[in-house]
Amino acid sequence: MTAPIIDVRGLSFAYPDGTPALFDVDFHVHQGERVALLGPNGAGKTSLVLHLNGIHSTQQGAIEVSGLPVVDENLMEIRRRVGLVFQDPDDQLFMPTVRRDVAFGPQNLGLDGDELERRVSAALEAVDITDLADRPPHHTSLGQRRRAAIAGVLAMDPEILVLDEPTSNLDPATRRELASLVVRLGITLLVVTHDLPFALEVCERAVVLDRGRVVADGPTRVLLADRELMRRHRLELPYGMVLEGGEGGRV
């Protein structure tokens, strides 16, 4: 197998007030994988992903993205390669139109003219919101704003897309459309989510984090079918949904 595109080794982290968040985490993602990061509230999921593009500085351990250490001198390139989409799209959308929001990142990389227009058009088309390009983001639905936030990240031409709770507050139809969209993108994907059916639909592999430690790593269906694992780490499938037989089992 090729070297991982994300390689986390021995990562430990505590917040400035001394609250511990991560303990000796080893974690990797290979190119083309779609991986769900699961766990109860307070497990350390967000703390982990905020290390991947240097929002949190590494205190102990090492992280590499595409062979580049996540250190200060590499942060600009790391942040281009790791596209992080926050749970609330309004944290990322602030320009007068969707088009200008999507163009904001590439422009800050120095792109302009035909190349900038190509990047923006391709990103809008990838998430099916070309028709919204000239509308103000706050005049669109939550699902459309979430797509616009993803487009803004895609316009940076990342190698890895990280989605933080992408289905939060979405209706079932919009959630289903988003699942189809992210699979169709064909990009290396890391999804932080409490939406276990979404994880099952989108991600072949899952990693379970609890109390700052990796406690399970394997095929998503196998882990979600493990009732004792689920109970022990406060993970619950929706009422009436039962997985049997692990890989290839029935729902």
CATH number, domain of 84, equals 3.40.50.300
Q: Which residues of 53-74 are buried (b: 16+ CB within 10 A; e: fewer)?
A: bbebebeebebbbbeeebeeee
Q: What is the pTM of this model?
A: 0.91
Written as one string, the DSSP assignment of 11-52 is: EEEE-TTS-EEEEEEEEEE-TT-EEEEE--TTSSHHHHHTTT
Task: Kindly report the backbone phi and psi dihedral angles of residue 84, in degrees, each rounded to the nearest multiple of 5, phi listed first.
Answer: -100, 120
Residue ranges making up the domain that contains 74: 6-232
Question: Please, which residues bridge with residue 123 across strands?
Answer: none
Q: Is residue 247 part of a domain?
A: no
Q: Looking at the domain assignment, is residue 248 inside a domain?
A: no
Query: Residue 208: inside a domain, yes or no?
Result: yes
Asked whether residue 19 is domain-assigned, the answer is yes
Structural domain tally of the chain? Answer: 1
For residue 244, being part of any structural domain is answered with no
What's the confidence (pLDDT) of residue 59? 94
Render pLDDT for 180-217 as a digit per residue (tens, 0 to 9): 999 999 999 999 999 999 999 999 999 999 999 999 99
- Residues 88, 24 contacting (CB under 8 angstroms): no
Could you tell me if residue 250 is inside a domain?
no
5-14 pLDDT, tens digit each: 999 999 999 9
Q: Is the pLDDT of residue 61 over 50?
A: yes
The rounded distance, in Å, linking the Cα atoms of 229 and 51 is 26
Token pair, residue 11, equals 């990562």
Q: Is residue 157, in this structure, part of any structural domain at all?
A: yes
Write the pLDDT tens digit of every residue in 79-119.
Answer: 999 999 999 999 999 999 999 999 999 998 888 999 999 99
